[in-house]
Chain A
Amino acid sequence: QKEVEQDPGPLSVPEGAIVSLNCTYSNSAFQYFMWYRQYSRKGPELLMYTYSSGNKEDGRFTAQVDKSSKYISLFIRDSQPSDSATYLCAMSALGGAQKLVFGQGTRLTINP
């Protein structure tokens, strides 16, 4: 079993829809939770960063962490065609170099 599980999709939704992306994990030591966005043939870029449990909002994006359920989510409101990309969840434990463990990535397409 992988430490981080993410549905690879693909996921296709109409423009303006609310998108929900999710990851589950098994390692209770994880404390830092992130979402990266990766456009085709580009490197991932950090989108959202959360420490421990709770919610974080940034514009149209909201990240949620539920450590009791070992479950994290990313919500995209008023989705745009420019949001079409692969979204990767990533997480790490405390201490030393931040060795991120990534989910497989979910490919998202927003249709105009």
Chain B
Amino acid sequence: DAGITQSPRHKVTETGTPVTLRCHQTENHRYMYWYRQDPGHGLRLIHYSYGVKDTDKGEVSDGYSVSRSKTEDFLLTLESATSSQTSVYFCATSLSEAGGYTFGSGTRLTVV
């Protein structure tokens, strides 16, 4: 989706290194979300934000932190990457509490 840009699109990193994934939106949506998608598990919520500097944990937040200093940017940080964090990471936004999500194209992360 042109309104949501995720970077990088692909990344290979080593175990134990910190990694930051970026989500940038031009939709001016209030809510932003980070999900991971894995075979057999579907999409699982990592963290979400309901406004600038307002964030909360999702279902699988251990080992991840987030920051949102501007409406348009939502960063996901893997503090010390592990092989279990190899996954496809999706950012999503929503305008309201009940409008459905718009997804980015995903970041494919491999931890070796």
Q: Report the stretch among B13-21, B70-78, B79-87, B92-100 that lies at the interface.
A: B92-100
B56–A88 CB distance below 8 A: no
Interface string of A15-49 (1 = CB under 8 A from B): 00000000000000000101010000111111001
B106–A43 CB distance below 8 A: yes
Chain A neighbourhood of B44, CB < 8 A? 102
Query: How many angstroms between the C-alpha atoms of A111 and B29 in the bound complex?
Result: 39
- What's the least CB distance linking B93 to chain A, in Å? 11
A-B contact count (CB 8 A): 71
Chain B residues 42-72 with CB under 8 Å of chain A are 42-45, 48-50, 56, 58
Q: Report the stretch among A53-61, A70-78, A91-99 that lies at the interface.
A: A91-99
B58–A102 CB distance below 8 A: no
A46–B102 CB distance below 8 A: yes
B103–A98 CB distance below 8 A: no
Chain A neighbourhood of B101, CB < 8 A? 36, 44, 46, 98, 100
Chain A neighbourhood of B42, CB < 8 A? 6, 88, 102-105
Chain B neighbourhood of A95, CB < 8 A? 97
Q: Given A43-B104, A102-B43 in contact, is the A97-B48 Cβ separation under 8 Å?
A: yes
Chain A neighbourhood of B98, CB < 8 A? 32, 51, 92, 94, 98
